[in-house]
Structure 1
Amino acid sequence: MRIARTKAVSALAATLAIGVIATGCSSERGDDGADGGASETFVFGAAGDPASLDPSLASDGETFRISRQVLETLLDHESGGSELVGGLAETWEQNAEGTEWTFNLREGVTFHDGEELTAEVVCQNFERWYNWTGTYQSKALSYYWQAEFGGFAQNEGEDIPDANFAGCDAPDELTAVINLHQPSAVYPGAFSLAAFAIHSPKSLEAYAEDEATGEGDAINMPDYSQEAGTIAGTGPFQLSKWDKGNGEVTIDRFDDYWGDEAGVERIVFRTISDEGARRQALQTGEIHGYDLVAPADVDTLESEGFQVPVRGVFNLFYMAITQESHEALEDLDVRTAIAHALDRETLVNTQLPDGGVVATQFVPDTVDGYSDNVTLYDYDPERARELLAEAGAEDLTLEFCYPTEVTRPYMPAPADLFELMKADLEEVGITVQPRPMKWTPDYLDTTRDGGCNLYLLGWTGDFNDAYNFLGTWFDGYSKEWGFRNDEIFDALAEASVEPDVDTRVAMYEEINELVMDFLPGVPISSSPPSIAFADNVNPPNVSPLTQENFAEISFK
C-alpha cells in the first residue's frame, strides 16, 4: 500500500522528536546531502548501471527497474502478484480472433513535460517502434519488439521475423485500438512489458533527431537515452539526473501524478556491482535497500534487524548446450550424460535461498503449462560415464562459459555455481575449459552468437504464460542453442496462436515433454530471490516478476 507524503512525514517527525534512531541506518530521513539539507531520499543499491534510460532500447533488469518508476504501460500487474490489471488503460478487450485489442485509457493523465495522454499518443509510440530502421533493427536495441511484435514496416535483415503489428487506430481521444496480423499467446501480457511504456509526444519528436548508430558490437546509443532531460513519462517519478561517473540515477516525485502520491520525494539508484559491498552499504546506512541478497546473508541481515522479504518463484536457471558449437553435443547420449553428471540437488541446497527447487523442465512449476510427465535426469555419474563411452566421447573437452560482475535473480553467485558444475563434469571424465566473461556486452553477445559449448543463463518471467519461457528459447532456430527441431518449433508455433487458454495450457504440457526428451540444455533450478531494506523503511510489495513499484516505499 502506498503511503501519502503527509502521513510519511508526520510519522517521520514523530520518530525524530523522540530521538529514536533506526539500527543500521545513518539517517531517518534518507538525507543524501545532494541539496545541502535533509531530504526525503531513498537510496537503493543496484547491481549494475542501466543500459539506457529509454526502456524501448533495453532488455536488462536494471534499466527496467528504473524505467517502471518513470514510464507506464497500457497494462500492469497487480501489486506483489502476476495477475494483469489496468495500467494507463483502465479496461481492455479483444475481438474473438485475438487480432484486435481495444484499450480504454484513463482520463486526465499528464506526462512529466505537461503533455496529455491520448489515444493518438499511444499510436505514435507503437508506430515509432514499428517504423524503426537501421541500427534500431538490431536485436541489441529492439529485442523485445521483435520478440513480441515481430519485425518492422521494412525489414532490413534476413533473420528479422515478419511483422505481427498491423497498425494502431484512435477512434476517439481515449480509445486506442491495436491491430495484429495473427493472434499470439504473448498478448495481452506483452502490453505490460516495460519496453512498451508510453512516452510523451515531445519526447518522441526529440528522439527522431537523435538516433542510434553503428552495428554489431559497435552500437552507439542515442544521447537522449544516456542522460536525463528528454525522456518524459506518466509515472509517479520523473528522471532528474544520470551521473554515470558515480553510477547514480536520480528520480524525483512527480506531483501531478494521476494516481497515489509516491511515499518519498526522491530515489537514488546507486550502482554497487559487488554483492558483498551492497550488503555492507546497507549495514552502514549508506543505502536503504538492495536486491538479490546472497542466500548466506539472509539470516545475518535479519538478525541485525533488516527486512529481507522473499519473492515468489517465477524464474528458471539453466545450463545451455550449444549443439552446433561441438559435434559431440549433437548426440543426445552426450547431452543426457551431461544432465546425469550434474548434482543439482546439492547445488540447490548449498547455493540457493530457502524455497529453491531442482527444475525438471524449462518452466517453473508456478506457470500454467508445467508438466508432471517429463523425462527426468537424476544425478547418476556412473550412467553419465556409460553414455559417454557409448557415444565414443570418453575424452570430451568442452569450453564452459560463465559471467562475471553480475548477480541475477536466478543466479546469485555465477562463479560458485560454475565451480560446482565444473567439478561434476570433470568427475565423469569431461575436461572443462573455463571461460569467464564480463556480463555485458561480452557474455551476452558471445552466448547469443553461439560462441560457447556450455554456458549458464536463465529467465525471470515477464507474465504468466508458458510461451514467455518456452517461446523465448525454442520457437525457432537460434545460434545460442544451435539446433533445429521442427517438431518443437511447429508445436510452439501452433500453441502460440491457440486462442483457448485451457487448450493452450495442455499444448504447453506436451511441448515441455518434447523439449525434455530432446534435451537442448539442462534446467537447473527455480528459486525465490530476496530483496533487503533498512528497518526504518516501509518496503513495497515484492513482486515475483521483480517488478516492484517504488512509489509504495516510505520511511517509518
Structure 2
Amino acid sequence: MFGLSGEPISLDPSVTADGNTAYVTTQIYNSLISFKPGTVDLQPDLALRWTVSSDSLTWTFYLRQNVKFHDGTPLNAEAVRFNFMRWWDPSNEFGAKKPFLGWKNNLGGFKGEDGSLVKDIKVRNQYAIDIILDKPYPALGSILADSGLFGIASPTAIKKNPAQYGTPAGIAVGTGPFMLKKWTSGVNVDLVRNPNYFRAGLPKSEALLFRFVKDPSSRLNELLTGGVDIAAELLPDQLKAIQSNVKLNAVLRPALNLGYLGLNTSYKPLADVRVRTAIASALNKKAIVETFWTGLGITDGHLLPPPLAKNYAKSVTDYKFDPAAAKKMLADAGYPNGFALDLWYMPVSRPYYPTPKPIAEAMAADLSAIGIKVNLKTEDWAKYLQDRQDGKFQAFMLGFVYVTDPDSAYTYLIAPGSTTDITWNSPEANTALESARKLSNPAQRLPLYQKVDEIMFREAVRIPIVHSRLLVASGVGVKGWIPSPTGSEKLDTVEK
C-alpha cells in the first residue's frame, strides 16, 4: 500500500501531469523508452532500440514484438501513432478535448503551430515508427521517457468511451506491470498484477493499492501503524523521527530540482557582474540550507541538479562565502555604501523552497551585512509568476523540478525567450546550446554543456541556492524499492 498526498486528477496521461497522477499512471503504462532505476539515464522500454538520423531530425523507434495491452489487443506502431496524434493534434477526435499541456510545455506546440518541434509522425512498418522534428532536439528521449506523461494507452480502450476514459467511472488500459481494478473516488486506486507483463518475473507483488492521505503527519502515522507500506512527500522536519524509528526506513529521493535567486540586470546595480558576484559571495548558502532543509538540501554552484553532474565543468565548485571580499567587489563597482534591493519571495511552498519567507529573510540578513538594504516583497502566486516573467522584479526566488536533460533545463533558464525575467542574453551560451542540439551523440554534447556551466557560474544571473532531496519512507519489510529522481517510479520490483 502506497500513501499519496492526494487523488489523481485522471488516469489518462493526456489530461494532466501532476505528481499524484503520475505515480499511478506510471504503473499502468509504459513509454517508448524509460529511465534506468534511480537515474535519469535512458534505457529501452516499449522500444527495444532507437536511432537518430545524421541531421538529428528523425527519431526512429523499433518496438518490442508480442507485447499486449491489458485488454489483450496488440501493441504496434499504429497504436503508438494513435497515442501521439491524440497528444499532438488538439482536433483529434479521441483527444482529451483540451490542450495537452505536457506536450506543449515539452515540445513547443501542437500540430499546425509555429512553435511545434514535431513536424510529423509516421509509421515505418508494423513495429517501427518515426518522429520527425522541425529542428534538432536532443532532449526528446528524456521527454518521452516520462511514462506519467507519455504512457502508451490501448486505442481500443479509448475508443470504447472517450469521455470516460481515465475517470473513476471509466477504464485505463496500458501495457504496464499493473492493471486498474477499481478507482474509488476520494479513497484509493486499486491495481492488480498484470500476468502478461513483458518483463519476465515482474511485477513482484500481486496487488498495489494507492491510498489518498493529504496531511504529511497523517501519512507518517499511517506508515507507523501499517496503514501504508510506503509514504510519499514527507516533510524535512520529519526526517529525524523516521531515522530514529527501527520500524521505518528513510529514503532520500535524488535531488532533481533547483532553487535559485534570480537577478534582473535591468536594475542598474545588477547590470554589473561584480555586484552580482558580490551578492553570491555574501550569501551563507551552507548555513541557509542546513537551517531550512534539515539534511535534505545540497548546495553548489551549478544550475543543473546532481543527477546531471556529468555535465558539470570541473572548474566550477561554488561561490565562496566571503563577506569581506563581497564588500570590496561592491566598492570596486561604485557602491561602497551598498544600495537598495527589492527581493521577491514566493507565496507558496515548493520542494526547492519549502518555507520561502524565512529563507528570504535569511538572505536579506546576509546581504545587509555588506550594505545592501533589502525590501522583502511578495504577491499572489499567479501574479508573481507573470510579473517575474515580465521582468518586473529586481531580485526573486524561483526554481524548477524534474528536469531530466541539460538542454531542457538550459532552455528554461537561459534561452532568449526565457530570460525576460533577468533581462540578459549570452550569445556564447546559446551558440553552445545550438551546437549541442545538432549532435546526436550525448558524449559529444558534454563539453558544450560544461562550457555553459562555466558561463552561468561566471555571469551569476541565476545564483544556485539549493538542490533539495525529497523525503519518502517505507516500512522495514519493503524490498526492491528504488526511488527515481523524477518523483515517480515503477513499483514492479517492490515486494513485502
**TM superposition score normalised by structure 2:** 0.83
Q: CA deviation at 1:242?
A: 4.8
Alpha-carbon distance in 1 for matches of 2:65, 2:452: 43
Conserved 8 A contact 1:119-1:170: yes
Alpha-carbon distance in 1 for matches of 2:384, 2:218: 23
Q: CA deviation at 1:486?
A: 4.4
Conserved 8 A contact 1:314-1:461: no
Match of 1:467, SS state, is helix
Show the counterpart of 2:362: 420
Conserved 8 A contact 2:136-2:438: yes
| Equivalent AA in structure 2 for residue 317 of structure 1 | L
After superposition, the C-alpha distances for 1:99-155 in whole angstroms (9 at most, x for unaligned) are 332222222322233432111111122222222269x99xx9544423543322212
Alpha-carbon distance in 2 for matches of 1:234, 1:145: 21
1:507 paired with 2:444, answer no
Conserved 8 A contact 2:10-2:167: yes
Alpha-carbon distance in 2 for matches of 1:446, 1:56: 29
Gaps of 5+ in 1: 1-41, 211-222
Match of 1:537, SS state, is coil
Show the counterpart of 1:17: none
Alignment of 1:122-133 (within 5 A): 122-132=80-90
Q: CA deviation at 1:337?
A: 4.0
Show the counterpart of 2:410: 470
Alignment of 1:225-304 (within 5 A): 227=168, 229-243=170-184, 245-246=186-187, 248-259=188-199, 260-304=201-245
Equivalent pairs counted in the alignment come to 485
After superposition, the C-alpha distances for 1:142-186 in whole angstroms (9 at most, x for unaligned) are 44423543322212xxxx62x232322323322223222333221
Alpha-carbon distance in 1 for matches of 2:292, 2:222: 23
Show the counterpart of 2:282: 341
Q: CA deviation at 1:508?
A: 0.8
Gaps of 5+ in 2: none
CA 1:419–1:224 in structure 2 vs 1: closer, same or farther (change >3 Å)? farther
CA RMSD, 1 decimal: 3.7
After superposition, the C-alpha distances for 1:242-282 in whole angstroms (9 at most, x for unaligned) are 55545x44433334433344333443333444433332332
Show the counterpart of 1:24: none
**TM superposition score normalised by structure 1:** 0.75
Residue 31 of structure 2 is aligned with which of 67, 70, 73?
A: 73
1:85 paired with 2:43, answer yes
Q: CA deviation at 1:548?
A: 2.2
Q: CA deviation at 1:554?
A: 2.0
Match of 2:401, SS state, is strand
Show the counterpart of 1:19: none
Residue 496 of structure 1 is aligned with which of 409, 412, 437?
A: 437
1:61 paired with 2:19, answer yes
Show the counterpart of 2:117: 164
Conserved 8 A contact 1:290-1:533: yes
Alpha-carbon distance in 2 for matches of 1:225, 1:448: 34
Conserved 8 A contact 1:398-1:430: no
Match of 2:348, SS state, is strand
After superposition, the C-alpha distances for 1:66-120 in whole angstroms (9 at most, x for unaligned) are 2111111011122333332211112323333333322222223222334321111
| Equivalent AA in structure 1 for residue 197 of structure 2 | Y
Residue 435 of structure 1 is aligned with which of 367, 370, 378?
A: 378
CA 1:113–1:478 in structure 2 vs 1: closer, same or farther (change >3 Å)? same
Q: CA deviation at 1:540?
A: 1.4
Match of 1:477, SS state, is helix
Match of 2:466, SS state, is strand
Q: Which moved more, 1:71-80 or 1:368-377?
A: 368-377
CA 1:432–1:282 in structure 2 vs 1: closer, same or farther (change >3 Å)? farther
Conserved 8 A contact 1:102-1:177: yes
Conserved 8 A contact 2:258-2:400: yes
| Equivalent AA in structure 2 for residue 550 of structure 1 | L
Identity %: 27
Match of 2:59, SS state, is strand
Q: Which moved more, 1:469-478 or 1:53-62?
A: 53-62
Alpha-carbon distance in 1 for matches of 2:422, 2:87: 29
Show the counterpart of 1:485: 425
CA 1:288–1:425 in structure 2 vs 1: closer, same or farther (change >3 Å)? farther
CA 1:345–1:518 in structure 2 vs 1: closer, same or farther (change >3 Å)? same
